[in-house]
Structure 1
Amino acid sequence: MIGTGEVTVLKRAHLARDILEVIALALILFLATRLAIQNYRVENVSMQPTLVDGENVIVNKLAYLFHPPERGDVIVFHWPLDTRQDFIKRIIGIPGDVIRTDSTHVWVNGVLLNEPYIKAPYNTIANIWRLGKDQYFVMGDNRPDSDDSRNWGVVPRNYIVGKAIAVYWPMNRWQVINTYPAVFAHIPDVSPQTTSK
């Protein structure tokens, strides 16, 4: 027969074990979530009107585990000129693409883009970029005020942190981020080259 004191000790042991299991499970869930998603605060105007200064976005860090980044995706990446800084831009070109600009237009593989997401059509100079393997060409939606691939070149695949999927704060700006697949649907794919301009 178990005495009252022994029952109390057993209850405490079970309670302590239950608490440790809950803490361990919470820690595992927290770490798994941090590996899969991360939140970022937008701190510039380069993605207006899609993203506004001060908004918080959710970034899916596992989005490209089973398929490559696609044209139209809004991504967070390490800035190639200083990898300690993270930027957020829209993918315009993927490996193998040829991007051409004049003062107000963008072509991808010879197809003129009709871009409903941009604030204003603007490019500082006319230029052509040929993307090599694992190279991505990104631009901000606020073309007159965006420091992007037009200025400093391509983003290597391994610099991409993840895909921005939604704005979650402030609550009145909550939205799923549109990738505008119809804009890029008719662009022919080109096999990647090993070098880029």
Structure 2
Amino acid sequence: MKSFLILVWEIFKILVVSLAIIIPIRYFLIQPFFVQGASMEPNYQDGEYLIIDEVSYRLGEPLRGEVVVFKYPQNPSEFFIKRIIGLPGETIKIDDIKIIIENKANPEGFVLDESSYLKNVPPMGQETTTLKENEFFVLGDNRAASFDSRRWGPLPRNNIVGRVWVKAWPISQAGIAHAPNY
């Protein structure tokens, strides 16, 4: 009986230590996320399991090209995944298959080269959006099937949960996520 109680006590200690390590990591450092839908294809598929880095944006700002998970501005209980295209203070001009970014460094604008992660971009029509402070313009990689900033407007900074850090499932596609170099 005494050895059974010792075993139970040891298991209890292991559980307490494990929870003391896992809970802070889960709630303050990283978060799991399952991709739902086709809006980020071909780069992120429905059902893929991702690990989201929640720390980076506490220390720095989101960068163009990073894929982020965020609370949908019109219903914060829903989480979306999209790619950051426009940064605070920029003007984003969509001209069919081209995205033109105007900012202080490029007042005449530059065409965003998305060829490293998109092969076929369907026409997106014409649209111009000027972002305010702490606003981002996000798009799904599957432009034809994405509900994004083109429909509901800029993404507020405080809605961003974190950036995609690791693609964990399926194992055959596991790896660290990288933002493109524009």
Distance 2:96 2:11 in 1: 63
CA-to-partner distance for each residue in 1:97-148, whole Å, 9 max, x for gaps? Answer: 1111111100111110110212522343211111111101100111111111
Greater share of residues in strand? 2
Q: Count residues in correspondence.
A: 174
Q: 1:122 is matched with which residue?
A: 122
Q: 2:78 is matched with which residue?
A: 85
Query: What code does the residue aligned with 1:149 have?
Result: S
- Normalised TM-score (structure 1): 0.80
Q: Which runs of 4+ in 1 moved over 4 A?
A: 11-20
Distance 1:147 1:59 in 2: 21
Aligned-pair distance for 1:26? 0.9
CA-to-partner distance for each residue in 1:47-95, whole Å, 9 max, x for gaps? Answer: 1111011111110111211101111110000111211111000001111
- Tell me, yes or no, if the aligned pair for 2:88 and 2:136 is still in contact at 8 Å: yes
Provide structure 1 residue ranges, at least 5 long, that are not aligned to the other structure: 1-8, 184-197
The structure 2 residue matched to 1:25, chosen from 17, 23, 26, is 17
Identity of aligned residues (%): 34
- Tell me, yes or no, if the aligned pair for 2:30 and 2:54 is still in contact at 8 Å: yes
Aligned-pair distance for 1:20? 4.5
* Residues 162-177 of structure 1 mapped to structure 2, 5 A cutoff: 162-177=162-177
Q: 1:190 is matched with which residue?
A: none
Aligned-pair distance for 1:153? 0.4
Q: 2:58 is matched with which residue?
A: 65
User: Greater shift after overlay, 120-129 or 97-106?
Assistant: 120-129
Query: What code does the residue aligned with 1:162 have?
Result: G
Q: Secondary structure at the match of 2:57?
A: coil
- Normalised TM-score (structure 2): 0.86
Distance 1:146 1:74 in 2: 14
- Tell me, yes or no, if the aligned pair for 2:66 and 2:84 is still in contact at 8 Å: yes
Distance 1:27 1:88 in 2: 28
Q: Say what the alpha-carbon RMSD is for the aligned residues.
A: 2.0
Q: Secondary structure at the match of 2:76?
A: coil
